[in-house]
Amino acid sequence: MNIIADGGFESPPATAGGFTSYNGGTSLGPWRVLNGGVDQYGAGFVNTVEGSQAVELNLLNPGGVEQTLLTTPGQTYTVSYLLSGFPGYQPGDGGPAVKTGEVLINGQAADTFSFDVTGKSMTNMGWVRREFTFVANSSSTTVSFVSTTPGNYGPAIDDVQVRADCSTTPSQQPIDPASCNALTRTGQGLLVPRTDYTGLTGGRPPAIGTERSVDIDVRVDGDCPRNVTIGARLTPVFGEAVSPGVDVSPVPVDQWTAVPGAQVSLDEPGVYEVTAVIRGQFNSPAGVDTDAWMTGRLFNVTTGQELPNTETLIIYRRETQVPAIGTTATTFAYVTVTSPTVIRVEVVKRLLRGRFLNAYVWSDREGRTKIGYKKIND
């Protein structure tokens, strides 16, 4: 396993077709920038072998980068990297032809390198692979790549890797007897505790939908031993749709009609609470004894069926007065879906006698006709 983070210098993105400069003392992703600084090549600036970015170890003067790793004392590690050098924009303008530098392990030179850019170009950098080994003497090791080339055109590196040599084993170090140390030495090696994971069982897919999020709670108690409790809370999928309103005067009596805009899609399998708020208004001719009403319901567009027990009275009128009247009604249902399902609001006018003059489903600042949903269970 490569224990170097971002050995290809791919993050953050550098200027495409150019480079981004970093001064000494700053950070380049997980790397610390040293001395005179570095240039991070962006995609397309020079040819690369691994990824699309690389680092030159000179800015205006020799610089470098370093990273501190967790290591095992006594373990042998192999450091591998790609080496090249900036050849210049035109032949002969890239400073010294031979670019030189060193790789330091905890500040001590462990590898000295050089690269001749003669005959190379920005489209033919001539990358070569180099590697060397070192034995860790502590639980943390700093690996540094530094330039010893004067000026602003220096060596370049890419695809840095540090891997433990599986053919060697660390020297036998004593096991810390502290009660919080869970390692046990056996004749076959170190016994490491296993962590078992449990969760939902059954046939549900393991992936979580893109519209859902999980809040993770972590509580740490004590120090030695340290007890960590992790909990998760599902943030449910929810949403709503608001209708701009509609004139239902032309719609025949006893004919259900969809309310424009009052429609939602339940995309994930599960149980949802669906609620509709419907605002209705109508009036009738003066002097005409009218017995009329308007009702609404929730309708499953996908199955073509009314949601049971959702029909509700919005407005009822039995009088001979002209002024329009309006009221608001609410209806809801628990809806179980196994595949994407569309639910909408529908209304119908009923007339026992008399006639309608005008009828509307209304939305304005005093009240909205809308439908909302919230997932409550998988």
Indicate the pLDDT class of residue 201, thresholds 50, 70 and 90.
very low
Strand partners, 62: 58
The pLDDT score that the predictor gives to residue 174 is: 64
DSSP annotation string for 241-271: EEE--EE-TTSPTT--EEEEEEEEEE-SSEE
**Cα angle, residue 342 at apex, residues 341 and 344 outer, rounded to 5°:** 145
pLDDT 10s digits, 262-320: 999 999 898 999 999 999 988 777 777 778 889 999 999 999 999 999 999 998 876 65
pLDDT bin (cut points 50, 70, 90) of residue 225 is low
For residue 204, what pLDDT is reported? 46
- Asked if 99 and 146 touch (Cβ cutoff 8 Å), the reply is no
Q: What is the C-alpha separation between 342 and 304, in angstroms, rounded?
A: 10
The highest-level CATH class for domain 238-377 is mainly beta
Mean pLDDT of the chain: 87
Count Cα atoms within 13 angstroms, Cβ side, for 220: 4
In whole angstroms, what is the distance from residue 343 CA to residue 334 CA? Answer: 12
In angstroms, the CA 81 to CA 113 distance is: 11
Residue 171 pLDDT exceeds 90: no
Planar angle of CA 338, 342, 344, nearest 5 degrees: 140
What tokens were used for 214? 């999980």
Report percent pLDDT > 90 for the chain.
Answer: 64
- What confidence score (pLDDT) does residue 378 get? 78
**Is the pLDDT higher at 372 or at 92?**
372
| C-alpha to C-alpha distance for 9 and 53, rounded to whole angstroms | 6
113 contacts: CB under 8 Å, gap ≥ 6: 83, 100, 101, 102, 103, 130, 155
d(CA 40, CA 30): 13
Averaged pLDDT for residues 13-38: 97
Q: What is the pTM of this model?
A: 0.48
As a whole number, mean pLDDT of residues 20-44 equals 97
Ordered by start, the domain boundaries in the chain are 19-164, 238-377
Whether the CA torsion 220, 226, 227, 230 is positive or negative: it is: positive
Q: pLDDT higher for 77 or 230? A: 77
CB atoms within 10 A of CB 299: 21
pLDDT at position 211 over 70: no
Distances (CA, A) of 111 to 80, 95, 105, 210: 11, 23, 9, 48
CATH 2.60.120.260 fits 19-164, yes or no: yes
Q: What is the pLDDT of residues 113-141, one digit of tens each?
A: 999 999 999 999 999 999 999 999 999 99
Q: With 80 as the cut, is the pLDDT of residue 231 above it?
A: no
Q: Can you give the pLDDT at residue 273?
A: 96
19-164 and 238-377, same CATH topology: yes
Burial 59-94 (b: 16+ CB within 10 A, else e): beebbbbbbeeebbeebbbebbbbbbbbbbeeeeeb
Q: According to the per-residue pLDDT averaged within each range, which of 2-6, 193-197, 279-283, 374-378 is highest?
A: 2-6
Closest CA to 282 of 329, 330, 331, 322: 322
pLDDT of residue 213: 54
In this predicted model, which residue has the larger pLDDT, 345 or 203? 345
Q: What pLDDT does residue 170 have?
A: 54
Q: Is the pLDDT of residue 241 over 80?
A: yes
Burial of 264 (0-12, 13-18, 19+ CB in 10 A): buried
